Structure 1
Amino acid sequence: MTHGFATAPVTHGPELGELPLHSKRRLVLWTFCAALGGWLFGYDTGVVSGAMLFIRRDFHLNSFMQGAVVSVLLLSAAVTAPLAGRVADRIGRRKALLLVAAIFVVGLVVAAVAPDVGTLLAARFILGFGVGGASALVPVYLSEMAPTKVRGTMVSTNQLMVTIGLLSSYIVDLLLSGSANWRGMFAFGLVGAVLMLAGMAVAPETPAWLERHGQDGPARSVIARYTPPDQVDSVIRGYGGAREEKGAALSIKEMFTSPAVRPALLIGLALAALQQFCGINTIMYYAPTIMQKTGLNASNALIYSIIIGAINLVVTLIAMRLTDTAGRRRLLIVSLSLMMLATVPMGLAFTALSGTASSVTALLSTLGYIMAFAVGLGPVFWLLNSEIYPPRARAEAASLATMVNWLSNFVVSQAFLPLSNALGQGPTFWVFGVICVLALAYVIARVPETKNRTFQQIDAEIRGMRHQDTRAGQRA
């Protein structure tokens, strides 16, 4: 199977280096303001790990209630993600992100002043609305704002900000742990929420949304703020006839039955589930325990989290550049191959090795797995999920895949301990390795390359893959 357009000229929009300084500054500012949603996503999912050390003492929480405080955000995010797309299609991406920022402000304020565990649960539920909305909409906003040649870098900024948010939460937790100030841990997130609220108030609507809703003048005006005048028409054409798709939003049933949407949606849903079922969040959760097994001097688990967060951040920075040079598909193949290989010694460390050999093998294989994820499957899923869908269904389809991602996260997190108790820790990591192999096979067979391609070209290739499958089935 070919993944076409290898020789198609790309004449739609400049590279970042070709832009005047003032245009670069605008794109950087808009990217930063929207990507603060990614920072809040990372911060609010990570901060609770350190805060829980003191929350459980102040509110006298048993293990069930501790789990509830953590997991209620995951469930709320999963519920919110598909709704976010419908809201963004109705009122626009910018206004939807303004609403997300406001939700973060409310949730963080309530969490910081919570007098009891019931109020804290409500705050975490509210924050889940923000996390679900941000995870679904920030990549879509950045994808629709970005010049095609730097779309990978711009959209991957969201994943970079997620990792910075996680690392920030670990550092804030560590700094405030001496005073047991868990309220301050939550309150610090208000810095990002307020900045996002202010930034999105002045950021523009995406030209793709404006074009689809018949606002050609405003769409051209936004494009002209970061594109040379002679390339504006080319950029408009690159949206792939979004105007022709104007109409009522598609229902979930219609997205699954529409020949124009279903092929891309199935790819998005499959990658959303596979990203989580490869085991990244359980391995991230277990990493401090593995590190402690190596006999490192640090005694505080928060320090281990900071080490992991820093490595994740550095590799994500590398991945940002590679998405627009090496390509999305190649990064996925390399990432999944390395993740699969890392699970082999990871399992051996708990089954066949002992002593120092076991500790060092566990540490190195865990770090290798996390780096492999961060260079490919981590950022590339979110990038593809923002660019493979037709304009009419982009926000809603991306949101549906985001919901599947959050639900898969919840399922894997809940299943990890029972599975490791039943099979043993080593064989459980090998199960993740088998899933990596299945994911690799799926990527090779079904996922197209989207580097340097307009939305129109991406849509044409995915539809072409469907027609090839149809003809093959008829010949069989």
Structure 2
Amino acid sequence: MVQGFSREPGTEGPLADIPEGGRRRVWRWAVVIALGGFLFGFDTGVVSGALLYIKRDFGLSAFEQGSVVSVLLIGALLGAVAAGRMAENLGRRKALGIEGAVFLIGTAILVAAPGYGALLVGRVVLGLAVGAASATVPVYLSEVSPKEIRGRVLTLNQLMITTGILISYFVNLLFASGGQWRGMFAVGALPALGIVVGALWVLPESPQWLIRHGRRDEARALIVSVAGEERADHLIEQAQRRETQGLRSDSPRAGGWRVLLEPRVRAALIVGLTLAAVQQFGGINTIIYYAPTTIENTGLSASNSILYSVAIGVINLLMTIVAIKLVDRAGRRRLLLGSLASMLVMLALLGLSFVIGMNALLSLLCMVVYIAAFAVGLGPVFWVLIGEIFPPHARAAGSSASTAVNWISNFVVSLVFLPVANVIGQGQTFWVFAAVCAFGLWFVSRYVPETRGRDFEQVDAALQTRFRKRPQVGAEAG
């Protein structure tokens, strides 16, 4: 269950043959944890349809529309920054429960909002929860999953994000006829309540967190419930040995954010922060947030724009399911390279379609293929990697930092997309995103190793090899 609970590198992990009931239990926990990802997707996607009616009711300018979208990202940045310390001090389970409660508060403010100012407050509060959950969920999932299915379990986060986005599009469609944007936001209260209930009565604490905080008996009982009595002591000993080795590897051990300054963490941090920025500056959320607006610019009506955005959401979901099938077979690195290359081509063509005035359906096709490429690679694999590449003692802080950069990048792109597109043209803006994907393709090919089926020691050795350009003990090709 804990990522480090396996035999020596290169051998089959002791959880590879855990009872079927234990595996089902792990997946049940993972689904509840990943509700945080669902709300991430829902609350970032629902605004795309609601914005068409909010701007009419409150007479919002272009800047005000952009701020309603992007102010959530300010809250998300703050939430992501705070999440690492909260998850480390309180535990993963309590942190997730608190985040669910904040989701409920933010939703209530939005539903009752009397004007523009209250909308901004509600979106900031939702952002706090979205950002904190986006940092907590990958760490939590990583620490309750055996390495043999770790990629699939971590990809569940992205699946729930895309499911949340798709459901938000259907909700938008359902309420569109009456322009009921308050109802669109209100639906988000249901999964938020599910997180709170799950944290109180369904989820266990991360075994690795329990061991790190001296609660060995609780960790052992939890492992027994999944792996059985005869494996539990062995797994505890393995985890404690790793913790001891980790404590000796960097002396003196820094606390909090300072762990990210340790030499051992530096390579993982560079990968995490760079992929976080590329994922957003590659343009994905200009499609997610502004899909109806972008499609409307091709000449289609607002109602048809929402309908076609549902099609985009379906493709996003289906290709994420494909990614779950492939991530532990094809590997993370191969999916990243193929994804970025395809995104690059589609963004170039999408930009061309706006520049030369191609048929609206051809522009829509480029958007759909771009979404598919993102959903099968860069989208889920980023969240998988930030749960795998950091040392156990720095995992919460590393995930928090990477997620914070992801939200900073998200904020910048979503805030300036419409103004920049108005200045240089929408097609040319997509070409800028294509250039970012080209950089990402080079970076992944040069610096990102394969992590599929590897223990942390192997992942770390491969990272150091790529950054130091000299062999490291335990490193493998890729």
TM-score of the superposed pair, with normalisation by structure 2: 0.88
Indicate conservation of the 8 Å contact 2:340/2:378, yes or no: yes
Matching residue within 317, 329, 333 for 2:333: 329
1:96-153 per-residue CA deviation (whole Å, 9 max, x = no partner) reads: 1111111111111222223343333222111111000111101110011111110111
Q: Offset of 1:406 from its aligned partner?
A: 0.6
Q: Against the structure 1 CA distance between its residues 173 and 291, is the aligned structure 2 distance closer, same or farther, given a 3 Å change threshold?
A: closer
Q: How does 1:70-219 map to 2 (within 5 A)?
A: 70-202=69-201, 203-219=203-219
Q: Is 255-264 or 80-89 further displaced after alignment?
A: 255-264
Q: Which residue in the other structure is 1:49 paired with?
A: 48
Q: Distance in 1 between matches of 2:119 and 2:244?
A: 45
Q: Which residue in the other structure is 1:3 paired with?
A: none
Q: Offset of 1:364 from its aligned partner?
A: 2.4
Aligned residue type for 1:318: V
Indicate conservation of the 8 Å contact 2:41/2:165, yes or no: yes
Indicate conservation of the 8 Å contact 1:249/1:392, yes or no: no
Q: Distance in 2 between matches of 1:434 and 1:118?
A: 36
Q: Distance in 1 between matches of 2:163 and 2:358?
A: 34
**In the alignment, structure 1 residue 346 sits paired with structure 2 residue 347:** no
Q: Offset of 1:289 from its aligned partner?
A: 5.3
**In the alignment, structure 1 residue 257 sits paired with structure 2 residue 268:** no
1:315-363 per-residue CA deviation (whole Å, 9 max, x = no partner) reads: 0010011111111111101111111122232233233x5554xx45423
Aligned residue type for 1:209: W
Q: Which residue in the other structure is 2:368 paired with?
A: 367
1:380-434 per-residue CA deviation (whole Å, 9 max, x = no partner) reads: 0011011110111111111111010011111122333344344433333222222
Indicate conservation of the 8 Å contact 1:208/1:239, yes or no: no
**In the alignment, structure 1 residue 22 sits paired with structure 2 residue 21:** yes
Q: Distance in 2 between matches of 1:421 and 1:309?
A: 26
Indicate conservation of the 8 Å contact 2:37/2:134, yes or no: yes
1:64-95 per-residue CA deviation (whole Å, 9 max, x = no partner) reads: 33333222111110122011101111111111
1:277-314 per-residue CA deviation (whole Å, 9 max, x = no partner) reads: 11112234454456557777984322122111111000
Aligned residue type for 1:312: N
Q: Offset of 1:214 from its aligned partner?
A: 2.4
Which secondary structure state, in structure 1, belongs to the residue aligned with residue 36 of structure 2? helix
Q: Distance in 2 between matches of 1:326 and 1:58?
A: 49
Q: Against the structure 1 CA distance between its residues 423 and 295, is the aligned structure 2 distance closer, same or farther, given a 3 Å change threshold?
A: closer
Q: Against the structure 1 CA distance between its residues 325 and 231, is the aligned structure 2 distance closer, same or farther, given a 3 Å change threshold?
A: farther
Q: How does 1:415-434 map to 2 (within 5 A)?
A: 415-434=416-435
Q: Distance in 1 between matches of 2:318 and 2:136?
A: 24
Q: How does 1:260-339 map to 2 (within 5 A)?
A: 260-285=264-289, 287-288=291-292, 291=295, 299-339=303-343
Aligned residue type for 2:95: A
Q: Which residue in the other structure is 1:453 paired with?
A: 454
Indicate conservation of the 8 Å contact 2:280/2:409, yes or no: yes
Indicate conservation of the 8 Å contact 1:98/1:201, yes or no: yes
Indicate conservation of the 8 Å contact 1:208/1:242, yes or no: no
Indicate conservation of the 8 Å contact 2:37/2:160, yes or no: yes
Q: Which residue in the other structure is 1:242 paired with?
A: 243
Which secondary structure state, in structure 1, belongs to the residue aligned with residue 263 of structure 2? coil
| Pairwise CA RMSD | 2.6
Q: Offset of 1:207 from its aligned partner?
A: 1.1
Q: Offset of 1:465 from its aligned partner?
A: 3.7
Aligned residue type for 2:94: K
Identity of aligned residues (%): 47
Q: Against the structure 1 CA distance between its residues 60 and 362, is the aligned structure 2 distance closer, same or farther, given a 3 Å change threshold?
A: closer
Q: Distance in 2 between matches of 1:47 and 1:432?
A: 23
Q: Which residue in the other structure is 1:474 paired with?
A: none
Q: Against the structure 1 CA distance between its residues 220 and 441, is the aligned structure 2 distance closer, same or farther, given a 3 Å change threshold?
A: same
Q: Against the structure 1 CA distance between its residues 337 and 234, is the aligned structure 2 distance closer, same or farther, given a 3 Å change threshold?
A: farther
Q: Which residue in the other structure is 1:221 paired with?
A: 221
Q: Against the structure 1 CA distance between its residues 115 and 414, is the aligned structure 2 distance closer, same or farther, given a 3 Å change threshold?
A: closer
Aligned residue type for 2:175: L
What residue ranges of structure 2 are gaps of 5+ in the alignment?
Answer: 1-7, 473-478
Q: Against the structure 1 CA distance between its residues 362 and 116, is the aligned structure 2 distance closer, same or farther, given a 3 Å change threshold?
A: closer
Q: Offset of 1:470 from its aligned partner?
A: 10
Indicate conservation of the 8 Å contact 1:12/1:235, yes or no: no
Aligned residue type for 1:250: G
Q: Against the structure 1 CA distance between its residues 182 and 292, is the aligned structure 2 distance closer, same or farther, given a 3 Å change threshold?
A: closer
Q: Which residue in the other structure is 2:412 paired with?
A: 411
Q: Against the structure 1 CA distance between its residues 128 and 298, is the aligned structure 2 distance closer, same or farther, given a 3 Å change threshold?
A: closer
Indicate conservation of the 8 Å contact 1:13/1:149, yes or no: no
Q: Is 447-456 or 147-156 further displaced after alignment?
A: 447-456
Q: Which residue in the other structure is 2:3 paired with?
A: none
Aligned residue type for 1:52: L
Indicate conservation of the 8 Å contact 1:240/1:455, yes or no: no
Q: Offset of 1:195 from its aligned partner?
A: 1.0
**In the alignment, structure 1 residue 441 sits paired with structure 2 residue 446:** no
Indicate conservation of the 8 Å contact 1:346/1:362, yes or no: yes
Indicate conservation of the 8 Å contact 2:66/2:415, yes or no: no
Indicate conservation of the 8 Å contact 1:212/1:391, yes or no: no
TM-score of the superposed pair, with normalisation by structure 1: 0.89
Indicate conservation of the 8 Å contact 2:48/2:291, yes or no: no
Q: Against the structure 1 CA distance between its residues 345 and 214, is the aligned structure 2 distance closer, same or farther, given a 3 Å change threshold?
A: same
Q: Distance in 2 between matches of 1:417 and 1:293?
A: 12
Q: Distance in 1 between matches of 2:260 and 2:74?
A: 23
Q: Offset of 1:194 from its aligned partner?
A: 0.9
Q: Which residue in the other structure is 2:475 paired with?
A: none
Q: Distance in 1 between matches of 2:422 and 2:55?
A: 25
